Amino acid sequence: MTAAEFEARYRAEGDPWGYEKDPYERAKYAATLDACGTGPFARALELGGSIGVFSRLLAPRCRSLVTIDGSPTAVAAARRRLAGRDGVTAAVGRIPADIPRGGYDLVVASEILYYLSPAELDQTLAVIGGCLVAGGRLVAVHWRPAGPERPFDAAAVHDRLRRLPWLEPAIRDATDQYLLDVLERR
């Protein structure tokens, strides 16, 4: 899917993937939040923050949380949802080009990496490698079934993450629906 296609979906439906109420999303959010840990995280980054449903759950564990998404409509919804929360920024931007640089002790990539082209995935992983501090945690979770709108499936993305020499696999949680990996920066 292109950025324009994501934007069109958010404009047409507001919550096109059912982030607010879908039982799958609720279960995945609980597992992802558990995988992140209790924090507090000095600086956290959420790639593909969408309308901010997970961001709102993660924010209390972070002194600073930056979410980035390519859809202006989704980011506007996230900003409304996160209003009044200190230290939280929801930014419109392309991944990887607009990822805010800096030292993060937590990076969350939920159902986003498999939408990237091979070149964008390489660049994104390089950016994460440059901004995740030693001992920092990368939490990646992706829906398992393949789809024609995604260049990769969950297994391909997660296998690639687990082979990166600068990451140490720490936790794997696999269900029939999603694959979740926690990897720590060496």
What are 13-33's pLDDT values in tens digits?
999 999 999 999 999 999 999
Q: Once rounded to an integer, what is the mean pLDDT over residues 151-179?
A: 97
pLDDT value of residue 34: 97
Give SS3 for 97. Answer: coil
Strands (E) in the chain, as ranges, are: 44-47, 65-69, 88-92, 104-110, 132-143, 167-174, 178-185
* Dihedral pair phi/psi, residue 173, rounded to 5°: -130, 115
C-alpha dist (Å) from residue 119 to 77, 116, 125, 165: 29, 8, 10, 19
Q: What whole-number distance in Å separates Cα of residue 86 and Cα of residue 95?
A: 24
pTM of the model: 0.96
Task: Assess whether the previous peptide bond of 60 is cis (omega < 30° from 0).
Answer: no
Q: Which domains does the chain have, with CATH numbers?
A: 3-185 (3.40.50.150)
pLDDT value of residue 150: 95
What are 25-65's pLDDT values in tens digits?
999 999 999 999 999 999 999 999 999 999 999 999 999 99
Per-chain mean pLDDT for the chain: 97
Task: Assess whether the previous peptide bond of 40 is cis (omega < 30° from 0).
Answer: yes
Question: For residue 76, what pLDDT band results from cuts at 50, 70 and 90?
Answer: very high
What are 86-135's pLDDT values in tens digits?
999 999 999 999 999 989 999 999 999 999 999 999 999 999 999 999 99
C-alpha dist (Å) from residue 95 to 13, 52, 61, 107, 124: 23, 17, 24, 13, 7
Cα angle 102-108-110, degrees, rounded to a multiple of 5: 140
Q: What whole-number distance in Å separates Cα of residue 142 and Cα of residue 177?
A: 9
Q: Once rounded to an integer, what is the mean pLDDT over residues 160-182?
A: 97
Q: Which residue has the higher pLDDT, 31 or 1?
A: 31
> Which residues are CB-neighbours of 28 under 8 A, at least 6 positions away?
110, 141, 177, 178, 180
The H helix count followed by the E strand count for the chain is: 6, 7
- Specify the length of the chain in residues: 186
Question: For residue 1, what pLDDT band results from cuts at 50, 70 and 90?
Answer: confident
pLDDT value of residue 52: 98
